[in-house]
Structure 1
Amino acid sequence: MKPLHLLICAAAIALSTHAAPGLAQLAATAPDSPQTPRLTVDQLRARYGDGQSRYMTVKGMEIHYKDEGPRNAPVLLLIHGSQSSLRTWDRITVLLKKRYRIIRFDIPGYGLSSPATDEAARSVKPVEVTEGLLEQLGVKRLAAAVGVSSGGTMAMYLAAKRPEMVERLILSNTPSDPVDTSHMVQTPAFLAAQDRVRKTGYQDLDFWNQYLSFFSGDPARISARTRAEYWDFNRRAPEPYPIAMVARIGDGKQAAIEMAKIKTPTFLVWGAGDPLLPEAAVKAITRYLSNATISKVLMPDVGHYPPLEVPDRFARWIETYVEAGVPLAGDKAR
């Protein structure tokens, strides 16, 4: 592995906690600067909170979540990846919430959720945040747990720990091995943006433009609004534990044990144009999920974040897979 490559991308947070701090951690803990003003959680909530925003305390942390759709409908849990937020699922929620109850949340340290506390960083496993949220919402059964990137890792751990809860598992560009980035060929502009972050500790707007373009199959699919949101959410006030509540593969040993426990039917919806986790990663995760019935679809024109890049297509895949195995309200008599 090349040290520079280890520092660059959200999915690399799936590396062992013993790895050197990445750009995400460097930027999260840098001091404030007049040239790159930080945003407090309160400022972000004022800017991005809306009528659907709700807050719940789980394991001593205030979790921002949204719970939309009919309460008697099949429940979909949508989990975002590292350095992202629940806004990853905005368009998909619009498309599906008339027929499903959709629950999504910001992982502590991201979006509008509070930072991880000292106690949580010491003793709370990330999957326990998901469990606590669902328990307080009274959700005992999920039609599907859906996750992208490290959000898929969180969904996998939930399915391994709570098989009675997760009826279907939908994973998108989720690592199954310690992430190796040595194969990636990066653009000069992206390399220059990373160099600035190493020198200044800040991920500026151009960094996020380069990042999202590099990890997209078609950069034109990522709007200027989404790019600005990524910049805003990743210039939060310094976080003491920026990745503590992100589900991680670590050295892969325990993750392999957990994946082997999963018997939940699993659907891999993959952006095969992902420069980090291409088609070879699909084959790897299929091997690890050896006791699950696997379905898969590869989209060669899509990159690392399919729900963000092709949300309409992704929503159709969710609906098709869930409806194949879970009758919806009103469908049972057909």
Structure 2
Amino acid sequence: MSVVREPVFVSVLDPADVSLFSGFRDVSVSVANATGPYSFLQSVLGARLLGARVDVVVGYWGSTFADLAENGYLIPLNLTGGVVYRGRVVGVPVDYGVPLVICRGAPPPRSVHELLNLSRSGGLAVVADPVVLSSVVYSLGGSYFNGSPRALLSRDTVRGFEAVELLLRNDPGDPFNYTRQRSLFNNGSVRCLLDLWWVSKPLPSGYTAYIFYNKSLAYVKAAFALSPRGAEFLQRYGDKLLIKNRSFDIALGRVEPIPVYRPGAYDPLLPGVSYATYLIYRGTEPTQALKQVVRQLTQ
């Protein structure tokens, strides 16, 4: 028995995700015009203009989907694995975004030590995303959260961010401009790129790569089934969800990180990590940057 009515209308972020539904009858797919944690709403609004009601949304697990789950707008699924919220599966994963260093014409670095040596030579561009940088921090024994954001102040975590500081300082581009960083790699200006990579995406011919994967942090792209109330809610108020209290995003200006969630409460941890990284990039000593963020997260 289907969890949604037929025909089904699906909204996806990535045009490549259209193929996920190519084998189903009575399924219509809408593609959002932009990527990001909130861009699926553009597709929802586009569906409204077409007179369709969205039944399934494919997007990144983050603030908006947690909000929908909290209000009963997602259908719990009878599955043994998936995106879990308050002990119930609410989404079916279709892909994972993990930290990866990709190189052209040479073996990739396989440790933070090798990564730092490559950075010192000017051969590495870094995308300053909190999940990407977790590969450095966690590899040196640090963590973002161990029951409290004060984990950011542990000796090993500070040491990890000191390594991040070196990567940012040596970067030949702009670590907060992922388009520029990928252009530097694609045009051969740097030999390697530390970036987010979707597991389902094949590696281009002639490239080598190493996944700096830590099991604590990864971006999850999943399919979420909307309840009838959820579909109606998005039809009526989807655009209102674009208005968020995102103080760290505002402070950061041009960076839009994806929050991590704990059941029943908003957790601005990843935006906080992004803000600390930006402060370090602008010259603040790592310990002071982390202390500033922890104060804001715990006040």
**Could you say whether these structures have the same fold, taking a TM-score greater than 0.5 normalized by the shorter chain as the test?**
no
With normalisation by structure 2, the TM-score equals: 0.29
The structure with the larger Rg is 2
